[in-house]
Structure 1
Amino acid sequence: MSRKMRIVVGITGASGSIYAYTLIRALHQMGIEVHLVATEMGVKVMQFECGVDIEDLKEYAIIYHNKNLFAAIASGSFQTDGMVIVPCSMNTLGAIANGVGDSLVSRAAGVVMKERRNFVVVPREAPFNVIHLRNMMTLAEAGVSILPASPGFYHQPTEIWELVNFVVARILDELRIEHELMERWGEKE
């Protein structure tokens, strides 16, 4: 039996909620089932930066509470096609790198890793200290894609949404999801 593609999206308390909001809407528009979990600070930062309450995203995603370790996404038997944590705080990144699964975000991440599914973390921090870098190296060695929220400028953006779409397009590329969010280098008509 065939099913819709499913992507888990985690949102944490780092700045950059606009990336998550744009990704969730893009996945929904592509007909992809989105399973969303946010940390307490992720909820607050989304409200502060974007003026969006997590509950407002119900039309785009199935939403789980971060303390609900009985949620479907906490189990490897629940089939997903990958996960992205965007933005990913250094706190959450450190917990995942050290095998701490005491929240749904970190538990779902551990599940995706043990099942060897696509997993992307989008750290939004600068500068990185040596502990941040070691934790990122640990995740990279485990097969996780580390994709800092660093937009390129070769497409000559003139508006903020073009910078946001650049990062979201890279996330979709890492998840191996076809999209048309931006023109690719060398493909100009």
Structure 2
Amino acid sequence: MRLIVGMTGATGAPLGVELLQALRAIPDVETHLVMSKWAKTTIELETPYTPAEVAALADYCHSPADQAATISSGSFRTDGMIIIPCSMENTGGGSRRLCRGAGRDALPMSC
């Protein structure tokens, strides 16, 4: 299984760390981590870990500014993406964009 984990600067950085630790313990799970600038700050404020230590929990760590990263390609296949921690604003915004895209591309109705 191949998963992308996006860590944001929302409060709750320990949740992201615990997720990466849990995924690391599962055989055949490949993780690709992307940490925002503010995620790194929140990790330092809310956990006993450094951003480098958190990055080491993932199989791969990508810069959000790296447009040449493998995960930036539409041909990069994954089994899903987890955004953690995730504010309700981001959750709602993601749902709206997903519905709008699905409605435009595949569904005859809009959300």
Instruction: Tell me the TM-score normalized by structure 2.
Output: 0.77
* Structure 2 match to 1:118: none
Unaligned runs of 5+ in 1: 94-120, 122-132, 144-189
Structure 1 residue matching 2:85: 3-state secondary structure:
strand
* Structure 2 match to 1:125: none
Aligned residues: 99
Structure 2 residue matching 1:88: 3-state secondary structure:
coil
* Structure 2 match to 1:46: 43
Distance verdict in 2 for CA 1:141–1:25, change over 3 Å? same
1:29 aligns with 2:25: yes
Q: How does 1:1-189 map to 2 (within 5 A)?
A: 5-31=1-27, 32-61=29-58, 62-89=60-87, 93=90, 133=92, 135=93, 137-139=95-97, 141=99
Structure 2 residue matching 1:15: 3-state secondary structure:
coil
Say whether the 8 Å CA contact 1:13–1:89 is kept in structure 2. Answer: no
Which one scores higher on RCO, CA 8 angstroms, separation ≥ 6? 2
Instruction: Tell me the TM-score normalized by structure 1.
Output: 0.47
CA deviations on 1:118-142 (whole Å, 9 max, x unpaired) are: xxx5xxxxxxxxxxx5x35514635
Distance verdict in 2 for CA 1:76–1:12, change over 3 Å? same
Report the CA distance between 1:59 and its aligned residue.
3.6
Q: State the identity as a percent.
A: 33
Report the CA distance between 1:64 and its aligned residue.
1.0
Structure 2 residue matching 1:138: 3-state secondary structure:
helix
C-alpha distance in structure 2 between counterparts of 1:142 and 1:79, whole Å:
22
RMSD, aligned CA: 2.2
Report the CA distance between 1:54 and its aligned residue.
1.9
Say whether the 8 Å CA contact 1:72–1:78 is kept in structure 2. Answer: yes
